[in-house]
Amino acid sequence: MPPDTPGLHHVTGLVGDAQTAVDFYAGVLGLRLATQTVNFEDILQHHLYFGDAVGTPGTVLTHFPDPHADPGRVGKPQVASVAFVVPADSLEYWRDRLVDHDVAVEGPLERFEERVLRFEDPDGTRLELVAGPPDAPDPSGVEPWTDGPVPDDAAVRALHGVSTLSVNPYATAGTLETLGFEYEAELDDRVRYRAAGDRATVVDVLDRDAEFGREGPGTLHHVAVRVGSEGELHEWRELFDDRGHDVSRVKDRHFFHSLYVREPGGVLFELATESDGVAASGPEGGPGESLHLPDWFERDRDLIESQLPELTVPEATARADDTADTVDTDSDR
């Protein structure tokens, strides 16, 4: 068996308008737009990476914008929601901030000795902010992005985890155990599995009735877990193939290598190699200030830039007087 995963690498969803997504995730949630690049399967579609200052694995939520797609529907088999870690005493700040931005908020709710806020992005993607016990440490080795509109003592620290809706929760649980997650607890129709790493370690399997989902803006496409090396990816590919799972070849994703497996419960998992981060401009550059392309797409840059919208990225907010500065950037994919 390959080594167990230490936790989540990233989560990827679908949104409608790219600028609306940037305004929400960078301008409201205060995440860094770490990289603007393209969907490697469709170079005329943006791929937006949001996370900490360097896009550390375990902090990153990515989105594919598609302004022409029909709205999605959350259901089976999908990743139903994604949660972020915030400081233990910050939920009141976050509730007020979200309400001030006309975001409907549910909570704080109590769940597994944690306090949780539930809300949605402008496309209906289900999001959560999770505050652990007061003495819980921040995720090891991760510095939050603090050059945005959210003060340091409330800034998002990392991913917390995801909740999944499966057509076969037992099969999905089995896949999680194969990857190295361990059963931790149950609460009503929620079964928690946790990896042994220091951040982004939670996957909750929801054992409940739900309609079948439809892919589109407002849904989460897949969840990725961390693996140590490309060599381990090939070991995982052989293991899943031997078990008859629908597994892809190993792919070069420029920032990392990965493969995809559709487990028997229908949820799409990606396995992605560890890296120093996915921020193309580095920690000192502007937030996603230009379109970043891998070498093999550079010859098509003029075509790509002519087809993608120009984005304005919230760069900083003068928090004392609630005014914001912005910078104009090249299109991002």
Average pLDDT over residues 72-79: 98
Mean pLDDT of the chain: 90
Listed range (14-23, 29-38, 138-147, 295-304) with the worst mean pLDDT: 138-147
Q: Which residue has the higher pLDDT, 289 or 48?
A: 48
pLDDT recorded at residue 143: 83
Res 314: pLDDT? 77
Segment 198-215 shows an average pLDDT of 96
Q: Does residue 247 register a pLDDT over 50?
A: yes
Mean pLDDT along residues 306-313:
90
pLDDT of the residue at 1: 87
Mapping DSSP onto H, E and C, the string for the chain reads: CCCCCCCEEEEEEEECCHHHHHHHHHHHCCCEEEEEEEECCEEEEEEEEEECCCCCCCCEEEEEECCCCCCCECCECEEEEEEEECCCCCHHHHHHHHHHCCCCCEEEEEECCEEEEEEECCCCCEEEEEECCCCCCCCCCCCCCCCCCCCCCCCCCEEEEEEEECCCHHHHHHHHHHHCCEEEEEECCEEEEECCCCCCCEEEEECCCCCECECCCCCEEEEEEEECCHHHHHHHHHHHHHCCCEECCCEECCCCEEEEEECCCCCEEEEEECCCCCCCCCCCCCCCCCECCCHHHHHHHHHHHHHCCCEEEEEEEECCCCEEEEEEECCCC
This prediction has a pTM of 0.91
Range in 116-120, 291-295, 326-330 with the lowest mean pLDDT: 326-330
Task: Find the range with the poorest average confidence among 25-29, 124-128, 140-144.
Answer: 140-144
Q: Can you tell me the mean pLDDT for 210-227?
A: 98
Q: What is the pLDDT of residues 157-192, one digit of tens each?
A: 999 999 999 999 999 999 999 999 999 999 999 999
What pLDDT score was predicted for residue 272?
98
Q: What is the pLDDT of residue 315?
A: 63
